[in-house]
Amino acid sequence: MHRKQICNGSFSADRQYAYLSFRNQCFTSPKQRLFVAYEAPLSDEQIDDLLEEGKYFLAYDAMVVGEDEFAVQQFEKLNLPEASYYQSQVCYHKSDLLSQF
């Protein structure tokens, strides 16, 4: 499969290739893609939002599975109101379990 690498914001004349950049790292895209990528690169703010959303999902998944310690540690690192809410729910659940003994 033929691949072409596009870096430093330079677009080729062939519009079949997408410019994909993530914090100064270059990615290659195949000539015939299955899915159409964004035409414009994501801004740093959009990338940070997506990374934080992914970290939130992993912490939420850990909470659902029952890995409370890991979930609380991950929720502490996030600046989302949902993260604070679920962190308090995990702590409340743990204190409720301890009070039963």
pTM above 0.85, yes or no: no
Joined together, the tokens standing for residue 36 give 């159409």
Average pLDDT estimate for 31-60: 83
Looking at residue 32, what is its pLDDT?
Answer: 77
Q: What whole-number distance in Å separates Cα of residue 31 and Cα of residue 66?
A: 44
Looking at residue 6, what is its pLDDT?
Answer: 47
Which is more confidently placed, 12 or 35? 35
Joined together, the tokens standing for residue 81 give 């109101």
Residue with tokens 């009070």: 99
Q: What whole-number distance in Å separates Cα of residue 45 and Cα of residue 30?
A: 27
Which is more confidently placed, 68 or 17? 68
Looking at residue 40, what is its pLDDT?
Answer: 72
